[in-house]
């Protein structure tokens, strides 16, 4: 699946959640491929990290915004303030 479609899905869910709520990358993968969402995870995680690195969204761990290049383990995503 092309990255542009993944990015649109990430941004769409971020808009739905608004500035206060976070969401899991699995939400994106399940939206894009309900039956094979696990296979989508590497692409979704990569796109999310690049988007967070570009400041388009925020990556959150334990309630704190983290630098995607230094994040390890599970994370959630959040809409970045404009």
- Tens digit of pLDDT for each residue in 54-71? 999 999 999 999 999 988
Element (H, E) at 70: none
What integer pLDDT is reported at residue 1 of this predicted model? 86
The answer for residues whose C-beta is within 8 angstroms of residue 29's C-beta and 6 or more apart is 37, 38, 40, 41, 44
What integer pLDDT is reported at residue 36 of this predicted model? 96
Residue 61 corresponds to which tokens in the numbers above? 């761990």
Return the DSSP state at 75.
Answer: -
Three state DSSP letters for 2-19: CHHHHHHHHHHHHHHHCC
Return the DSSP state at 71.
Answer: -
């Amino acid at each position: 699946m092309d990255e542009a479609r993944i990015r649109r899905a990430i941004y769409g869910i971020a808009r739905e959640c608004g500035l206060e709520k976070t969401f899991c990358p699995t939400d994106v993968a399940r939206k894009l491929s309900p039956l094979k969402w696990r296979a989508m995870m590497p692409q979704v995680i990569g796109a999310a990290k690049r988007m967070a690195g570009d400041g388009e969204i925020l990556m959150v761990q334990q309630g704190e915004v983290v630098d995607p290049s230094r994040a390890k383990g599970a994370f959630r995503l959040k809409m970045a303030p404009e």
